[in-house]
Amino acid sequence: MISWFTGQTILLQQLAVNVLLALSFQVVLRSGVFSFASVGFFGLGAYLGANLAMHHVPVIGVLVAVAVASWVVGYGLARMFAGLRGLYLGMITFAFDQIVVVLGENGGSFTGGAVGLYGIPLALTTAEALLLAFLGCVVMSQLERRALGRAIAILRVDERLGRAQGFAVDSQRRFVFALSATLGGLAGVTSALLTTTIGPTDFGYELIVTGLTMAVVGGVVSWAGAAIGAFAVTWFPTFAQGLASYQALVYSTLIVVVVVLEPNGVVGLIRRGTYALWAGRRRALQRADREGAEVRE
Amino acid sequence: MVGLLGRDFEKLQQVINAAVLGSIYSLFAFGIGLPWGTMNVLNLAHGSIFLLCGFICYVLSVKARVPLNLPEAAAVAIAVGVCADWLIELIVFRQIRRRSSNDGEAQLLMVIGSVGIAGIPIAIANNVTGGVPFMILQQPTHSREHELFGASISNLEISIIALSVGIVVAAALWVRFSRHGRGLRAIAVDPEIASLMGISRSRASAIVMGISGGTAGLAGVLFGEYLASLQSTSGEDLLLKGFAVVVVGGVGSLWGLLVGAFALAVGEVVVTATTSGVWTDGVSFALIIVILLLRPNGIFGRATVDRT
Does some domain include residue B44?
A: yes
Question: Which residues span the domain enclosing B278?
Answer: 2-138+147-294
* CATH number of the domain that residue B154 is part of: 1.10.3470
Tens digits of residue pLDDT in A236-265 = 877 766 666 777 888 888 889 988 888 888
- Domain count along chain B: 1
B308 in A contact zone (CB under 8 Å) = yes
A212/B288 Cβ within 8 A: no
B113 in A contact zone (CB under 8 Å) = yes
Q: B307: distance to nearest CA of chain A, Å? A: 11
Q: Which residues of B touch A253 (CB under 8 A)?
A: 116, 120
B128 in A contact zone (CB under 8 Å) = no
Q: Which among A95, A157, A246 has the least Cβ separation from residue B240? A: A95
Average pLDDT over residues A162-177: 88
Does some domain include residue B303?
A: no
A259 in B contact zone (CB under 8 Å) = yes
> Which residues 263-292 in chain B show a CB within 8 A of chain A?
278-279, 281-282, 285, 288-289, 292
Does some domain include residue B304?
A: no
Radius of gyration of chain A measured on its C-alpha atoms: 21
3-state secondary structure chain A: CHHHHHHCHHHHHHHHHHHHHHHHHHHHHHCCCCCCCHHHHHHHHHHHHHHHHHCCCCHHHHHHHHHHHHHHHHHHHHHHCCCCCHHHHHHHHHHHHHHHHHHHHCCHHHCCCCCCECCCCCCCCHHHHHHHHHHHHHHHHHHHHCHHHHHHHHHHHCHHHHHHCCCCHHHHHHHHHHHHHHHHHHHHHHHHHHHCCECHHHHCHHHHHHHHHHHHHHCCCCHHHHHHHHHHHHHHHHHCHHHHHHHHHHHHHHHHHHHHHCCCHHHHHHHHHHHHHHHHHHHHHHHHHHHHHHHHC
Instruction: State the pLDDT at residue A152.
Output: 83
Does some domain include residue B14?
A: yes
Q: B41: distance to nearest CA of chain A, Å? A: 8
Q: Which residue of chain A is at minimal alpha-carbon distance from B97?
A: A260
Cβ contacts from A onto B, under 8 A:
124
Q: Which pTM does this prediction carry? A: 0.83
ipTM over 0.85: no
Does some domain include residue B299?
A: no
Q: B95: distance to nearest CA of chain A, Å? A: 6
Average pLDDT over residues A140-162: 84
In whole angstroms, give the CA distance from residue B161 to residue B150.
20
Q: Which residues of A touch B108 (CB under 8 A)?
A: 29, 32, 34, 86
Burial of A113 (0-12, 13-18, 19+ CB in 10 A): middle
Task: Please spell the DSSP secondary structure of A107-145, one letter per residue.
Answer: -GGGTTTTT-B------S-HHHHHHHHHHHHHHHHHHHH
**Best mutation target, A87, A160, A220, A221, to test chain B (most B CBs within 10 A):** A87
> Which residues 6-45 in chain A show a CB within 8 A of chain B?
29, 32, 34
Q: Which among A98, A157, A259 has the least Cβ separation from residue B116? A: A259
Tens digits of residue pLDDT in A34-81 = 888 999 999 999 999 999 998 888 889 999 999 999 999 999 999 888
Q: Which among A90, A99, A208 has the least Cβ separation from residue B285? A: A99
Q: Which among A88, A105, A160 has the least Cβ separation from residue B296? A: A88
Tens digits of residue pLDDT in A100-126 = 888 888 877 888 888 888 888 888 888
B109/A259 Cβ within 8 A: yes
Every domain of chain A and the residues it spans: 2-205
A256/B113 Cβ within 8 A: yes
From first to last of the 308 residues of chain B, give the pLDDT tens digit. Answer: 444 445 566 778 888 889 999 999 999 999 998 998 888 888 889 999 999 999 999 898 888 888 878 888 899 999 999 999 999 999 999 999 888 877 778 888 888 899 889 888 888 888 888 878 888 877 766 677 777 777 777 888 888 999 999 999 999 899 889 988 889 888 888 888 888 988 888 889 999 999 999 999 999 999 888 888 888 888 888 888 888 888 888 777 788 888 889 988 988 888 887 776 667 777 777 777 777 777 766 666 555 544 33
Q: Which residues of A touch B112 (CB under 8 A)?
A: 29, 212, 216, 255, 259
Q: Which among A158, A253, A259 has the least Cβ separation from residue B112? A: A259
